[in-house]
C-alpha cells in the first residue's frame, strides 16, 4: 500500500496529527500549533471574515514552527 493513501483528504489538522502519531510519536509537540492553525484552516480561506493582527501573527508563528518541524523530518 502506498503510505500516502493511508491519509484522507481533509482540512482537519488535528485529525492528520492523530494519524501521524500512530506512526511517529515525535509529532506530539506540534499539537499546540496544529490546534491553533486548525481554527484558521477553513475560517479564513474564503471571503467574508478576516483575522485580527494578533491572530495573524500567532498563525504565522505556528506555521513557521510546523514548517521547520516538517522540513527537519524530511531532511530538507
Average pLDDT over residues 10-23: 91
Q: What are the tens digits of pLDDT across the range 39-67?
A: 887 777 777 788 889 999 999 999 999 99
**Whether pLDDT at 69 is above 90:** yes
Q: What is the DSSP string of the chain?
A: --GGGGS---S-HHHHHHHHHTT-GGGGGGHHHHHHHHHHHHHTSSTT----HHHHHHHHHHHHHHHHHHHHHHT-
pLDDT at site 2: 59
Record the pTM: 0.79
Amino acid at each position: 500500500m502506498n503510505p500516502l493513501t493511508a491519509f484522507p483528504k481533509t482540512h482537519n489538522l488535528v485529525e492528520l496529527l492523530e494519524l501521524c502519531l500512530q506512526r511517529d510519536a515525535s509529532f506530539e509537540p506540534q499539537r499546540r500549533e496544529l490546534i491553533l492553525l486548525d481554527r484558521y484552516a477553513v475560517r479564513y480561506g474564503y471571503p467574508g471574515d478576516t483575522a485580527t493582527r494578533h491572530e495573524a501573527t500567532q498563525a504565522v508563528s505556528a506555521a513557521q514552527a510546523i514548517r521547520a518541524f516538517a522540513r527537519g523530518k524530511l531532511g530538507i
